[in-house]
Amino acid sequence: MGPAGEETRIGGEALEAARAAHRVLLEAGATAATAESLTGGLIGAHLTAVPGASATYRGGAVTYATDTKSSVLGVPEGLLAEHGAVHPDVAVHMARGARRLTGADYGLAVTGVAGPEPQDGQPVGTVYAAVAGPGSHTRVLRFSFTGDRSGIRLDTVEGALRLLRTAVRGDVTGNARA
């Protein structure tokens, strides 16, 4: 059991999403890195649960506190002061920071509100996921998840890994697919 009675398991749909991301990265000869806030390292944990992950996963940064998004990942302090940590541009800067820190081809970042209370004027379940890829290509998605804190965090892992897979496929084929 994790904090406050939460149980976190590596498995199910999130693990399958990690396997699929790993396969697509392998096919593309690419690597990825993560920058995580509300998931606290769960994306990296799922990616590294896949045998052979060292061929595609460079590492990640857990920047749970707002100020570490700036000091570690280079998110502009003015952006954080104006909009807070739960914002699409914050997710993009986090993804770019993960790429820069690790030398990965793709940076995947998530920031959002897992609950139990709203944050930065955003309701519980609001999540932004971003991918920064080669050639300054970026994609960002807004998710609105429902459920408890643990469920929102696992849904975030799945959604973010699907975004990564779609972005890599799009770069390889020239057509991004959802």
Measure Cα distances from 152 to 41, 42, 78, 98 in Å: 14, 12, 28, 22
pLDDT tens digits for range 72-92: 999 999 999 999 999 999 999
Confidence band, pLDDT 50/70/90 cuts, at residue 140:
very high
pLDDT tens digits for range 117-132: 999 899 999 999 999 9
Token pair belonging to 144? 């609105």
pTM: 0.91
- Domains of the chain, CATH where assigned: 3-170 (3.90.950.20)
pLDDT of residue 171: 73
